[in-house]
Amino acid sequence: MPDIRNIVILTGAGISAESGIDTFRDAGGLWEQHRVEDVATPEGFARDPDLVLGFYDMRREALLSKQPNAAHEALAKLDRGWSGELLIVTQNVDDLHERAGAKRVLHMHGELKSALCLSCEMRSPWDAPMSDRPPCPVCQAPSLRPDVVWFGEMPYQMERIYAAIRQADLFVSIGTSGAVYPAAGFVRDARELSVRTLELNLERSEGSHWFHESRQGRAGELVPAWVDEVMAG
Ligand code: BJW
């Protein structure tokens, strides 16, 4: 591997699949069980808040019994041992990177365990249901929504992500279908900046052809092997 110092890693639902968390677009995934427009858009929330709050309550509750897998553990090991710049940009709303011990994590699509108040716009750590309209811990208004990014909304911390890609020597995409923008466009942004690009995914994704290299397999196997490789220099 060429001299690598600064790394940006993008993760998607595939990295948490082996922890038992449903992906979105695979067979049996969340979008087979629910219409995206109903549960992952601001319009869907305005139409039927009970449905949307219940959908996220169910996923937040399910997360409690899930554990990080070998891929999360390997990225946490990389984070601990890597002296160069490293940013794990996750599209996932679970907290499995953090529970594995990773620190340099950015949740571009928000977090299940965070609440956003529509009255005061403050965010609060949250691990309880929202369907029963609990008061906002800051302003007491019963106006909480999941602090996640729905279609049509701006993903979080885009400037920080683009700055990290500009500094990077290597961009690695793990367990994402490449179907959702702007994350799906990061590989092209990286290529334009002459950043080396690598994909680790169960199968070839929609954007596989953009990567310098694409490896197919389970994240729980591919990621630990790649981490050992990159740490060996
Ligand atoms: C394994 C594995 C194993 C399985 N090991 N691998 C037309 C063109 C271009 C863009 C648009 C367009 N029309 C509209 C848009 C914009 C829109 C968009 O992208 N739409 C597409 C449908 C085309 N995007 C937006 O609206 C975004 N905002 C936006 O664009 O703002 C304007 C802007 C402009 C410029 C700069 C910045 C901003 C917001 C998108 C929000 C997405 N939100 C969701 C829900 C979050 C909350 C929640 O979790 O409920 O995010 S949707 C859902 O998809 C979720 C995910 O993070 C996201 C990506 O899914 P992911 O992670 O890739 O999962 P899957 O299931 O698709 O793939 C899993 C992969 O893993 C598969 O490939 C498997 O093979 C693999 N896998 N097991 C390894 N064991």
The dihedral sign for the CA sequence 124, 130, 134, 140: positive
68, 92 Cβ separation under 8 angstroms: no
Give ranges for CATH 3.30.1600.10 in the chain: 23-65+115-148
Catalytic positions, written as ranges: 109
pTM, 2 dp = 0.97
CATH 3.40.50.1220 at 1-21+68-109+155-233, yes or no: yes
19, 66 Cβ separation under 8 angstroms: yes
Classify 191 as helix, strand or coil: helix
Domain 23-65+115-148 sits in CATH at 3.30.1600.10
Question: Which tens digits make up the pLDDT trace of 27-55?
Answer: 899 999 999 999 999 999 999 999 999 99
CB atoms within 10 A of CB 203: 11
What are the pocket residues of ligand 1 if the criterion is a CB atom closer than 6 Å to any ligand atom? Answer: 12-14, 17-18, 23-26, 29, 40, 91, 93, 109, 148-155, 158, 175-177, 179-182, 201-203, 205, 218-219
Centroid of ligand 1 to alpha carbon of 183 (angstroms): 7
Question: Which tens digits make up the pLDDT trace of 73-111?
Answer: 999 999 999 999 999 999 999 999 999 999 999 999 999
Give ranges for CATH 3.40.50.1220 in the chain: 1-21+68-109+155-233
Question: Which tens digits make up the pLDDT trace of 198-219?
Answer: 999 999 998 999 999 999 999 9
Q: Which atom, in ligand 1's list, is nearest to the CA of 108?
A: 57
**Residue 174 host element (H or E):** strand 170-174
